[in-house]
Structure 1
Amino acid sequence: MNKLKAIISTIIKFRIAIIMVLVLLMGVSAYQTINKLSVDNSLSIWFLEDDPSYKAYIDFQENFGSDEIFIAMLPVENAIGEIEINRLKKLHKTFEDLPYVKTTFSLAKAKYPIYANSKINFDNLYNPKRSEKGLKNLFSKLPNITSQLVTKDYRNQFFYIQLNPTPTIEAKRQDIAGEIRTILDKEFSNYYLTGPPVLNEAYSKGIYKESLTFGILTILVITILLLFMLPSKRYLIISLLSVAVPITLLFGLITSLGYALNMISMLIPTILMVYSVSDAVHIINIYHKEGILNKTLNKIDLLTIAIRKSLTPCFYTTLTTFVGYFALYLSPLPAFKNMGVFTCIGLLLSFILVYVITIIGFSFMTHNFEKAKPLLSLKKWNQNAFINWINSVTSQYKTSIIVGFSAILLFGIYSIFQVKIDTNSRDLLAEGTAKQDLRTVEVELGGSNRLQLNISTVNGDVILNRDAIKQLEDFQNRLEDNPFIASPVSVVTIKSFLEKRTPVLFQSNISEAKLKNTLAEVDSNDNSFFKLFSEDLSTAGFTLTLGEMKTSELEKVLEDIQRDFEATFNVEDYNLKINGFAVVFAQLNNFILETQFKSFFAAFFVAFLCLLIFIKRLRTTLLVLIPNLLPLAMLAIFMSLLDIPLDVTTAMITPIMLGIAMDDTIHLVHKYRRSKTIKGSPKNRMDNAMHYTGSALISTTIALVGGFLIIASSATPSVKDFGLLCAVTVAIALITDIFYLPALLKKFDK
């Protein structure tokens, strides 16, 4: 007690110096944030650099070409008109001069094979000397290629811009899309632009915009709520500073270390704001109540009592919340790791600074506690009467409450196994131009993502023997029958075209050497956009187009491809390797499941230990722990009934909600246990605890729900679901704390 009093006296003595230091640090942090804050939603934040799948993906880009491809759909009068083709040629020249572009592809650059003089030559697919009827007839014989160049009605052209491999463009990624659009704007007044780089840019812009919006809305909502929740309007500035200072310093640290916001970390400001204000409200509530009860104490003694009574529960609530977020560090995804670490740092800053700021703020205030009243109030709302009603209900109907809530808990445990694990890539994108362009292009093109299949011989032999070609044909037929796959292009596509035009080439009496030499020539540098063979001809490539889809659908597509391969080829003689971002994205389900198990059980175990140390009785600890599982059970029920899956955003919800659910419990149980010296039954102690902390519990829950409802206003469906689920779970946590927990303790804590 004396040490605490000495610390408070020291803080007050040097309060001007502390204020000056905080102002200086906030100024530096604000400057760093304004000048260096950036958004990074690139692939690298979702996978560790040494992750085998990520390394394989980068190696694939180096060897077979990047799937970082812009797709422009250009509305035109006539897709095979000479004027329109000349505009495409101009675009090719402009884009291929850019340092980050590997190649471009369109009808103006496409070639088709012609067999003449015992060899294959490549001629321009578009020839202005051909009649329109002749061009359309030629196109009809190469449907898998020409469908990617023009639409069926010949009113749109497609133009592809393939970037260099991902690691080489990351530093300039934010500027690339803008430069691409500037060039297109000069030639076309109307066009549709999509592809992985465009979607990445849309994610980043949406994150930045929503981060600012969430921050402003959260401040406004918290300010309004504080006017209702605080005992006096004079506490408002203290509460707002308790929110603003830690967040400003944290973002100064994040930007100084070179980190950027992403789809996950964009939630940090809103989350920290509601946590900071929750602690501030608890401290102010205790200070005000003690001021009414201890009218003769001087300010330092009153501060000492208020800090001492609030320190233990606030420490443990911060600790359990800290554990919930730090558990995210166990995730294999770097985005979650960073989210966990920086939120934990923010929690520590908030915990320390909220006490420093409240002590300094109280030291400047002279207050008449009994006459103080909130600036805004609900005249018909009588908080004491409401708490008395709760105490009466949990005493009279405790058995019914326990049975009812326990039944819900059991149903929630069952519902956990009904929750799907799935990420819909379209749900990560807000409505807007990028999403509309994506839909428009995919309707015409069948997809916007590239998948490369490489089939190779185990012994390294050339894959162009007659039997292998037959199996490649069978495999392509299976691919074309898959409704999720559009326009597969391979050596089979070229062979089929040559076979129709020059049947003699593939007659049964043609030698295998002749067949091999003929087909070996089809992988022309002029058609490098489609990689048909490896340099040693031991590997044949298939380029597929996939639409934006759920990870569960993507997993099925990959399983279908593997099954078709095994049904067509002898797996002892041939290998299949599937490459592209889709392969990496499909693994998110496994990572999400791993994140849930590791982070939840780590958070649960540490939280149990914290409660046991805090309460010091195993029986009471178990009774207290049960109600904290109910909000998570209800979360599972809602997710199951509303068909909301665990995805890259909602994957972090359970450890976070476990930490939040325990906050109110700890404040309530702290006063329940602190009243142990007073003789009386568990009923009397719990009723007393509810009267002392009930108003603060309700106030902090309202602040938390308000903060998460702001997140639920997101235009991004996945983030919207996260905010809504968190708001509902926090509200349910309060209900269990004021009904289920008291009923359990009153009945079983003897």
Structure 2
Amino acid sequence: MNHHSPNHNQRLLLRLLSWIIIFAVSALTFFLGMKASLVNFSGSVSDLIVVDDDQEDFLRRINESSNNLEQLVLMVRGKNLLSLEGIKVLREITSDLSGLECLDSVTSIANLKIPRAQPFTMSNSENKRRMGICYALQHAEQTYLKVGSKVPKELIFKKGQWPTFPQFNTNDMKRALYYIDNFSVWEALPETVTEMQSFTEDVNNQVYLRNFISPDGTHAAILLAVKPQWVAGLKVVKPLETAMEKLRNRYGQTYSVVLAGNLLLQDEMKKNIALDTNTFIIAGLLLALASFWLAYRTVRGVVLPLLALIVSEVWVLGIMGCLGLHLNIVLYIVPIFILAVGSSATIHVISHFYSNISKGQDKITASVNSVRMLFLPICSASTTTAFGLAALTLSSVKGLNTFVLLTVAGLGIITILSLLFIPALNILLPEPRDRQDHKFISDRRWKPFISFLTHASIPVWILFIILGIIAGRGIFMIDTDNDLTKLLDRNSEVLKISDDVSRNLAGTTLMTLVLESVPGWAVKKDFLEKLSLLQSRLEESDKIDKTTSLADIFKLTNFLASKGNPDSRGRLPAFQYQINSHMQLFSSMEGVEGYKAFGEALRNLLTNFASDDFSTAKILIRSNLTSLKEMNTETRRTIELVREILGPHVKPRIIGGIVDVNKAVEKILFGQTQGVVLALATIFLLMLLLFFSTKIAIICILPNIFPILFFYGSLGLFAIGLDLSAGLVACVAIGIAVDDTIHFMTELKRQLEKTYDTEKAIVETEKIVGSPIILTKIVLAVLFGILVFSRFPVMANLGWLQAGTMVTCLLCNLVLLPALLARVRLISVWDILKGLNFDPTQAVVFKGMSKFAIKVFLSMGKLEDFKEGDIVMETGSPGDSMHIIIEGTARVDYHDALNRCTRSFNLSSGQVFGEIALLSRKIRKSTVKATGELKTIAITKEFFKNAEAFHPRICNRFLINVIENLSERLIGTDADCKGAEGS
């Protein structure tokens, strides 16, 4: 490569441009540095939840919302909470928490207004007896019985509408409301032991047990619904922690209070993310500094790349600040990515600068030439990595799209700083006093190393194939899973509390099993019995703590209608008319003044478990599930139970925040697989454009496949599993693996322009890029090794795995790639023609064809050498090829039937011979002999088959030129013959 040395005016211009670049970078860094201070840490997973239009429509149809309030569970533990003292404590805690601005509602058995099962009798001045909802339900049932067959007692259901109830001639149904007053529910909490016994009986049913109180009465749950504006940024945590501290101080001796829920898990993640990110950035920069010093031992070699890394981090964090983004469980990988990719690019720039300095170039020339040499590989590596990351956006997950946006922006920033900022600093800084190239591997060591690989290439292939097979086996052992709790410390107090709540009450993971069929189906007695059976079967799993459905509501109304008969506890009404009468009683309340609010509350209770037309029933599930794998297992089990118990006509679907997050993770993992394929496809196309050889492009893919095999194979072999963190970190590894291959192959292309000796070209390539590649991988292995100290167990596992992947990348690019290239022809015909000073565009057979078309066409040709006197083709031989002379001369002798030479003429550079026999498929009638050293391009039948298949337009243009050339020769021959006859 000819090095460009700028003249005086160009040097002045370069200095001016350098000052402009440094000023612009400094100003932008100052601005973005201020914005970076706005970036905080978040444990939120809301960006991972994807709700499309179809799901929104489905949620509306079943009376659900994608914006349900976040809930927390405050668990109170005491000796006996179903005592006068215990219920008083629950009421006090409930009242205190209700005053918090951050909470939308606070619900416990102390404020639920639980229906009374025992009749309550009192007399007043009007001598009226009001005995509670139990009598009202009983009266409603009797109303249905009294009408006999005169009035249809079936409810009429229409799609999307509340049912139409029977119209009785009397006001008997409304008269049932007479029995309902404030004594129908526990407006005031029990004040005597007798009342406490009745209250205990009333809460002893499936609606309240484990949802609000443990069966033994020692644990109670207070549900806290958080206002949406307090969920963002987890602002609710601080006021709740203050309130919890006050409660512990007040009741700490007798009652313990703990708080559990998804928001607290996110807050714990937030704290871990903050600690990890700060640790990684500081430790990463310090390790990078140490690595740069060991490699270069100069202030310039340490400060410049380190400064570029710091500026890149500031810019990316500043962009996040401008967009109002925070570092969460996805985005906190971005700073690690910037450090990794930035280290690689800056090391190559500094190494090339010192390499140019050691060749006698001044600082400006060295800076310019380093940019010229690295522009293509750095831009290509960034583009390839960006394409691989872009595939992740196919998952349509907002949080992942943001991750891709920031990482691609980071790639652009690193490219700009490497190719502009560092060279600008090199131009303005004083000339380096040390003129050494600072390579920590001597150039003389590369030749024997490459020679060894050339001769031992087959054993090297076999070794990597064996390792690849082992790693490939590990891929089939991968356990695809995602468990957000693995992002917490193994001894996390938050996890212990969640387990405690799940064990004593019910888990804090909320899901809903939606069952769809025809209108009215959800309140049929036979379905309710099957629904109750389904709940029992679901709760057999140790992952599901509690289920609640319409069946539990009607079990409660049946218990109330029996006036608290113990035999009816936990049983559904015996007849359909009882269910219908209970529903009509509740509906009647809405039309009577004084009962309207109570009726609407009951209707809302029913629609929590069913759609308006009762075509859909819902089972609310409280579980301790956090793992994607366990979630999928339970989902499959649930679907099978639905099919078994309810039949194939029922369409089941499970919804919930944890379900949405896990679906998003599955999309991410699928998108990441597409990213791997796209990254490999991009590097394949890039190598194809560089070498115009499919074979070489495929060879370049192999060193990038092995690190991927190692990474994914290790996930299976060492039982680490593939989850969200592993998937995102894998994208970083793939991008870096591609980077080294592009640097190697781009430099090799330059070296092949100087020599046609493949082994020599590889040696020279290693002398230039070998040391930077080794240094890059060492630095990256150390940087990723920091993850071993992560507070997240899953990230700690990935730390050593990533370090191992970096070492694998190094071995693949320094050992496998040269061993593969040693056995492949890397020089194209076009490259050789340039060295021979032969211009194919001047040859008649390439007339009217572009350089690109000629290059593509010649890439499929074969170069042949002949010595003086060699027979190139002989009379009587089959016409299986034609030749284009690129250097030397040849003589053509035509023979008659008696093999006598009848005519001869000479051929020189650019001329063609053998085309007539090739195109006519006849035996040859002439002999061609080399009259000196002869080089030709041989074009065979197979050549035309390939050209016609892949490049038909180019092939047609070439054939037209051959035919035109042949026609001109025939016309010339005919003229010669006529001239001979005339003489």
Which TM bucket (shorter chain)?
0.7 to 0.9
Equivalent residue in structure 2 for 1:436, among 496, 505, 518: 496
CA distance in 2, matches of 1:477, 1:744: 62
- Would the alpha carbon gap of residues 4 and 351 (structure 1) be closer, same or farther in structure 2, given more than 3 Å must change? farther
- Secondary structure (helix, strand or coil) at the match of 2:309 reads helix
Aligned pairs (5 A) from 1:417-566? 417-431=476-490, 432-455=492-515, 458=518, 460-461=519-520, 463-496=522-555, 498-499=558-559, 501-502=564-565, 503=567, 512-518=576-582, 525=601, 531-534=608-611, 539-566=616-643
Contact 2:625 2:631 in 1 (8 A): no
State the partner residue of 1:378. Answer: none
Measure, in 2, the Cα distance between the counterparts of 1:349 and 1:326.
17
User: 1:649: Cα distance to partner?
Assistant: 2.0
* Distance (Å, rounded) in 1 between the aligned partners of 2:569 and 2:417: 81
Structure 1 residues 520 and 12 mapped into 2: Cα distance closer, same or farther (>3 Å)?
Answer: farther
Which residue is equivalent to 2:290?
A: 224
Q: Of 370, 373, 382, which aligns to 1:318?
A: 382
Deviation at 1:603, TM superposition (A): 1.9
Question: Any conservation in 2 of the 1:712–1:724 contact (CA below 8 Å)?
Answer: yes
Q: Measured at CA, do residues 698 and 566 of structure 1 come closer, stay the same or move farther in structure 2, by a change above 3 Å?
A: same
**How far does residue 669 in structure 1 lie from its aligned partner after superposition?**
2.4
Provide closer, same or farther for how the CA distance between residues 39 and 718 of structure 1 changes in structure 2, counting only shifts above 3 A. Answer: same
* Cα pair 1:48 1:333 within 8 Å, conserved: yes
User: Are 2:140 and 1:138 equivalent residues in the alignment?
Assistant: no
- Structure 1 641/9 Cα, relative in aligned 2: closer, same or farther at 3 Å? farther
- Structure 2 match to 1:404: 463
- The alpha-carbon deviation at position 513 of structure 1 amounts to 2.5
Q: Answer yes or no: is the 8 Å Cα contact 1:331–1:599 preserved in 2.
A: no
Letter in 1 for 2:398: P
Preserved contact between residue 780 and residue 806 of structure 2 (Cα < 8 Å): yes
**Stretch moving more, 512-521 or 627-636:** 512-521
Match of residue 249 from structure 1 = 315
Post-superposition shift, 1:446? Answer: 4.3
C-alpha distance 235-576 of structure 1, shift in aligned 2 (>3 A): closer
Aligned equivalent of 1:179: 239
| Counterpart contact for 2:725–2:794, Cα < 8 Å | yes
Residue in 2 that maps onto 1:699: 775
Residues 457 and 340 of structure 1: CA distance in aligned 2, closer, same or farther (over 3 Å): closer
- Does structure 2 retain, via aligned residues, the 8 Å contact 1:87–1:187? no
2:404 to 332, 337, 340: 340
How far, CA to CA, are the matches of 2:349 and 2:74 in structure 1?
Answer: 57
Judged with a 3 Å threshold, the aligned counterparts in structure 2 of structure 1 residues 689 and 261 are, in CA distance, closer, same or farther, namely same
2:105 matched residue in structure 1: 103
CA distance, structure 1, for counterparts of residue 240 and residue 45 of structure 2: 20
Amino acid at match of 2:749: R
With the length of structure 1 as denominator, give the TM-score of the two structures.
Answer: 0.88
Deviations 1:410-446 (A, max 9, x none): 4434443332322123223344332332233223234
1:448 corresponds to which letter in structure 2? T
Amino acid at match of 1:293: K
Contact 1:66 1:162 in 2 (8 A): no
- Cα pair distance change 1:457/1:677, threshold 3 Å: closer
Mapped to 1, the partners of 2:449 and 2:69 lie a distance apart of 60
| 1:183/1:620 CA distance change after superposition, 3 Å | same
Task: Quote the offset at 1:536 in angstroms.
Answer: 5.5
Q: Matches of 1:509 and 1:154 in 2, distance apart? A: 27
Is 2:450 the counterpart of 1:391?
Answer: yes
2:190–2:199: 8 Å Cα contact kept in structure 1? Answer: no
Contact in 2 for aligned 1:281/1:696 (Cα 8 Å): yes
CA separation of 1:619/1:452 partners in 2, compared to 1, >3 Å: closer, same or farther?
closer
- 1:568 matched to 2:645: yes
1:596 aligns with 2:599: no
SS in 2 for 1:146: coil
Q: Deviations over 1:649-708 (max 9, x none)?
A: 222345443321122222222332222244463222222222322211111111212222
Query: Structure 1 pair 262/11, CA: closer, same or farther in 2 (3 Å)?
Result: farther
1:644 is paired with a residue of what secondary structure?
Answer: coil
2:32 corresponds to which residue?
A: 29
- Residue 145 of structure 2: aligned partner: none
**Could you tell me which amino acid in structure 1 is paired with residue 803 of structure 2?**
A
Aligned to 1:622: 698
Aligned partner of 1:711 in structure 2 is 787
The 2-side partners of 1:313 and 1:102 are apart by: 57
Q: State the distance in 1 between where 2:551 and 2:188 align.
A: 18
Alignment of 1:732-747 (within 5 A): 732-747=808-823
Q: What is the distance in 2 between the residues matched to 1:526 and 1:124?
A: 16
- Whether contact under 8 Å (2:18, 2:424) holds in the other structure is yes
How big is each residue's C-alpha offset from its partner over 1:449-501, in whole Å with a ceiling of 9 and x where there is no partner? 1222344551x227434323322222222223233221222343355465584
Residues 47-75 of structure 1, C-alpha deviation per residue, up to 9 Å, x if partnerless?
Answer: 44536447756887856993621012233
Q: What pairs with 1:54-133 in structure 2 (closer than 5 Å)?
A: 56=58, 62=64, 66=68, 68-98=70-100, 101-110=103-112, 111-112=114-115, 114=117, 116-119=134-137, 121-123=184-186, 127-130=190-193
1:209 aligns with 2:275: yes
Q: Which amino acid aligns with 1:316?
A: S
The aligned amino acid for 2:533 is D
Deviates more, 1:586-595 or 1:173-182: 586-595
Equivalence for 2:257: 191
Aligned amino acid, residue 52 of structure 2: D
Q: Give the share of equivalent positions with the same residue, in percent.
A: 18
Match in the other structure for 2:222: 159
**Residues 405-414 or 733-742, more deviating:** 405-414
Matches of 2:5 and 2:520, distance apart in 1: 80
Q: CA deviation at 1:150?
A: 4.0
Q: Give 1:604 shift.
A: 1.9
What amino acid maps onto 1:471 in structure 2?
A: K
Larger radius of gyration: 2
TM-score (norm 2): 0.68
For residues 378-402 of structure 1, the C-alpha deviation after alignment (integer angstroms, 9 at most, x for no partner) is xxx8656765664354234221111
SS of alignment partner, residue 73 of structure 2: strand
Cα deviation, residue 239, structure 1: 1.2
Secondary structure of 2:822's partner?
A: helix
What residue identity is the alignment partner of 1:635? F
> Counting helix residues as a fraction of each chain, which structure ranks higher?
1
SS at match of 2:546: strand
User: Could you say if the C-alpha distance between residues 53 and 417 of structure 1 is closer, same or farther in structure 2, counting changes exceeding 3 Å?
Assistant: farther
Mapped to 2, the partners of 1:526 and 1:180 lie a distance apart of 31
The one-letter amino acid paired with 2:105 is T
Looking at both structures, which has the greater relative contact order when contacts are Cα pairs under 8 Å and sequence separation is at least 6? 1
What's the counterpart of residue 879 of structure 2?
A: none
| Aligned-partner Cα distance in 2 for 1:103–1:732 | 55
Structure 1 residues 343 and 52, CA, compared in 2 at 3 Å: closer, same or farther? same
AA partner of residue 591 (structure 1): K
Partners of 2:284 and 2:105 lie apart in 1 by 46
Q: Distance in 1 between matches of 2:575 and 2:468?
A: 72
Change (3 A) 1:171 1:442: closer
- What residue is the counterpart of 2:23 in the other structure? 20
Native 8 Å contact 2:704 2:809 kept in 1? yes
For these two proteins, the number of residue pairs brought into alignment is 736
Shift of 1:372: 8.4
> How far did 1:298 drift?
3.5
Q: Retained in 2: the 8 A contact 1:239–1:281? A: yes
| SS in structure 1 of the partner of residue 76 of structure 2 | strand
Give the Å deviation of 1:243. 0.9
Check the 8 A contact 1:106/1:160 in 2, yes or no. Answer: yes
C-alpha distance after superposition, 1:597-645 (max 9, x if no partner): 4322222212211222234433222222212111111112201111222
Q: Which amino acid aligns with 2:501?
A: V
